């Protein structure tokens, strides 16, 4: 589905440089089609992204619809807008969330 495909693309662009410059672990709790727990680890070694909880504790946990997640990563929804109250529920270092724009 679209969520799995988005994570496949993310895995392809995660580099040591992103990991070094970001130093954050993001956990996504997605609802709807293709939902569930997904992660982007930009802290551990070469980084990782995929289904399930991250290998280490998440710095930021975001709950949103899978549709909004896909929009965010296809540049149809800016992360800042995605995290506005009512669109998603977030816990953790919100400044770190802005660093996700580099990956986008």
| Residue-range domains of the chain with CATH | 2-101 (3.30.1050.10)
CA 43 from chain center: how many Å? 13
- Residue given tokens 């992103």 in the structure block: 18
User: For position 86, what pLDDT does the model report?
Assistant: 57
pLDDT digits (tens, 9 = 90+) for 18-76: 899 999 999 999 999 999 999 999 999 889 999 999 999 999 998 999 998 888 877 77
pLDDT digits (tens, 9 = 90+) for 66-99: 998 888 877 776 665 555 555 556 677 767 876 7
From CA 21, how far away is CA 52, in angstroms rounded?
24
Q: Residue 55, SS3?
A: coil
- Residue given tokens 């990956």 in the structure block: 103
User: Is the pTM higher than 0.75?
Assistant: yes
User: For position 66, what pLDDT does the model report?
Assistant: 94
């Amino acid at each position: 589905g679209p969520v799995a495909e988005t994570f496949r693309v993310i895995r392809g662009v995660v580099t040591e440089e992103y990991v070094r410059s970001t130093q954050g672990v993001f956990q996504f709790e997605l609802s709807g089609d293709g939902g569930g727990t997904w992660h982007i680890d930009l802290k551990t070694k070469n980084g990782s992204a995929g289904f399930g909880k991250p290998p280490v504790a998440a710095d930021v946990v975001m709950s949103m619809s899978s549709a909004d997640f896909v929009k965010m990563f296809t540049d149809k929804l800016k992360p800042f807008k995605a995290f506005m109250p009512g669109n998603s529920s977030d816990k953790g270092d919100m400044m770190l969330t802005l660093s996700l724009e580099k990956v986008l």
